[in-house]
Structure 1
């Protein structure tokens, strides 16, 4: 339990709580590092730059507010049961950081370990599950293939009937998955970074980048221009737009990804349940809401609108898995913008510019990578060297025909 939580419990209620995040300051003329994007990744990088590398002349800029983009629009699942060795090693490190993040930040991010079931409905799907399980186990990630009987024991309310379109044959069982409170992760990083001297500038939109030679020398914003020693871009959803300011073309399509939650109900679902064939997933939050999501929309669009088409399709899939949910009311629906790469892996590290770094292409899996991305991108920026763990995700891999090929492990992304 974070010490801050105990302090809050014994605080004198007659006095107002102290302000943990300072008000937005005036922009200085220059910073050692400018980070574009105050979501989880940008704030985690700022925190690690200050704490690990002693770089505190850092400005985090965001056109909105802290964690107001995709960080606030995801469904908060953490896992490491990916398909490729590169992906598994990367998300394994992130999951380990999540386990101790509340203690690290002294801020309760509500991390909860949950069983994770990726259902297999066909022989081909089960073959992929066995492939993933072997890669996972080889890299030290708890993961195994289980049969339909074992699935029913873990999640007894699943519809295990054969009289459905996609009968459940088994699943990839990942007992060390989890969930965390997404906005708490962003605020935890923001508060601790600010305490070490990092400046967080909300409502500060980047309108242009000044490139001189092979460097970005200045960042133009709606509040003025700042000189920058190094610049890190971490703006999921707007990655292509911001990268274009630096003359960088990304292999990314931006597509809406929708989700929803039900009204709160008593505990009825134990695990995170994912279906690759149905392109949907569901888990139950600590407040009792059923958190549900589906596949990305079928067309590129820079929008966070929600649609009736998504709702109708998702509910049909949910009722095939859990027919008893037919009387549960949906409470809220929303969308985020997913930056999808051709191989479903991120784009990270150095770029063609000497002092411009990128953290993009997260598709449907950005939240679960927050701690490791912040740690490794801070290392990349501070040392101007790409850490080995993110080298496979470099931005020029598509021209080199060195794709990572993570599509098979992103069940709702295609």
Structure 2
């Protein structure tokens, strides 16, 4: 498959997918953060809305934060209508994204199982399947033997410590290669004229007359008509410099990979009850995630007690994993809102927009969040898909409470 985008302008340096320009003194739109959501937003601003005077500012290297630290699971089987709407839109974008970007993102629709270990898990799972079907999302309820057919290595014995009583199953769900996704969006955005500026940390947002006017960075002051925050776990830190307090808590979310194995795990398996979710990457390593560390933190590393609990539960569900070895562990910094749903839209500060609070579900939302955020920035008002996720819901009480139903992590 060709990786050339029609009409793309080759980078100045042929060994790079995009150039590294010096920041200018002003832009129409400045996006704070250089992860997947930021790059997708810049791409859709340029492609769909003709706004190309855009700078993406990243304090490190592009996609070096949560985009490089997640477990790449993609699904849309959320309980509530508002959540299902934005995640299903994202999944539909995923299904055409490789062709759209002209870049191989290795999107593999291998399906996702969400295991049930108790009668309450079963009730919740069946409820979610019915809600998904009403919202046009593909979903099935599987019994233990059907779970075994989809994923033969899962232990479904009734005598197991964590007996599998069934599972929800979304066949269209899957995984993608996270760095390829970032590179594809970055390359396509740069080809449309967007400036991707690395090693440029935003240290403050300047507000005058109730409007965001500029950002202060380690590479100088940059004025902007619109400032779009897209810094995941650090969004609240940046917003605070503009006098805006966001209702977020940042936590470390841990993950790990094994050494390389022959193909043994054909799908994605998640267990909210025991905080384990696992897939097998394209190269062969098992990619595993755990629950959120309860302590507030900005550290990009996990804790041993989390790994210990995670491994104990994983071996109960997948006895074959006893032969695998942990290769490395890490953590991402996730931003969690009071109702476990994102915040995407306008703020009380004119010209300041925010995309945050995705918690553990940010990767799967990458194209959908970027698409909706770009629409919001371009039109000065939210798209119907992200309108329910406004900041005002925390004062009006119109919460989108996905606690538990969203599963522990993604």
Specify if TM > 0.5. yes
Tell me which residue corresponds to 1:373.
369
5+ unaligned residues in a row in structure 1: which ranges? 6-15
1:386 aligns with 2:356: no
1:163 Cα deviation (Å)?
1.7
Aligned 1:28-43 pairs, distance under 5 A: 28-43=24-39
Instruction: Tell me, yes or no, if the aligned pair for 1:119 and 1:170 is still in contact at 8 Å.
Output: yes
Q: 2:61 aligned to 58, 61, 65, which one?
A: 65
Tell me which residue corresponds to 1:44.
40
Aligned 1:343-358 pairs, distance under 5 A: 343-358=339-354
Tell me which residue corresponds to 1:259.
255
Q: 1:200 aligned to 196, 214, 218, which one?
A: 196
Q: Secondary structure at the match of 2:232?
A: coil
Q: 2:82 aligned to 67, 86, 93, which one?
A: 86
Q: 2:324 aligned to 299, 323, 328, which one?
A: 328
CA distance in 1, matches of 2:39, 2:14: 23
Tell me which residue corresponds to 1:167.
163
1:114 aligns with 2:114: no
Instruction: Tell me, yes or no, if the aligned pair for 1:83 and 1:408 is still in contact at 8 Å.
Output: no
Q: Secondary structure at the match of 1:128?
A: helix
Instruction: Tell me, yes or no, if the aligned pair for 2:252 and 2:296 is still in contact at 8 Å.
Output: yes
> In the TM superposition, what whole-angstrom CA distance separates every residue of 1:255-276 from its partner, at most 9, and x where no partner exists?
1000001111111111100111
Tell me which residue corresponds to 1:11.
none
Tell me which residue corresponds to 1:21.
18
Q: Secondary structure at the match of 1:407?
A: coil
CA distance in 2, matches of 1:57, 1:142: 39
> In the TM superposition, what whole-angstrom CA distance separates every residue of 1:66-109 from its partner, at most 9, and x where no partner exists?
00010100010100001100001110000010111111110111
1:235 Cα deviation (Å)?
0.2
5+ unaligned residues in a row in structure 2: which ranges? 6-12
CA distance in 1, matches of 2:374, 2:294: 34
Tell me which residue corresponds to 2:148.
152
Q: 1:245 aligned to 220, 236, 241, which one?
A: 241
1:142 aligns with 2:134: no
CA distance in 2, matches of 1:171, 1:20: 42
1:356 Cα deviation (Å)?
0.7
Tell me which residue corresponds to 1:227.
223
1:342 aligns with 2:338: yes
CA distance in 2, matches of 1:358, 1:149: 45
Cα RMSD of the aligned pairs, angstroms, is 1.4
Q: 1:289 aligned to 285, 289, 304, which one?
A: 285
What TM-score do the two structures reach when normalised by structure 1?
0.95
Tell me which residue corresponds to 2:301.
305
What TM-score do the two structures reach when normalised by structure 2?
0.96
> In the TM superposition, what whole-angstrom CA distance separates every residue of 1:10-62 from its partner, at most 9, and x where no partner exists?
xxxxxx9543211x222212110000011000111111111111111111101
Instruction: Tell me, yes or no, if the aligned pair for 2:290 and 2:307 is still in contact at 8 Å.
Output: no
**Residues matched between the structures, number:** 403
CA distance in 2, matches of 1:4, 1:314: 42
Instruction: Tell me, yes or no, if the aligned pair for 1:2 and 1:103 is still in contact at 8 Å.
Output: no
CA distance in 1, matches of 2:120, 2:399: 23
CA distance in 2, matches of 1:151, 1:2: 38
Tell me which residue corresponds to 2:359.
363
Tell me which residue corresponds to 1:129.
125
Instruction: Tell me, yes or no, if the aligned pair for 2:66 and 2:333 is still in contact at 8 Å.
Output: yes
CA distance in 2, matches of 1:305, 1:77: 20
Q: Secondary structure at the match of 1:385?
A: coil
Once structures 1 and 2 are overlaid, which stretch shifts more, 401-410 or 209-218? Answer: 401-410
1:412 aligns with 2:408: yes
1:165 Cα deviation (Å)?
2.4
CA distance in 2, matches of 1:231, 1:282: 37
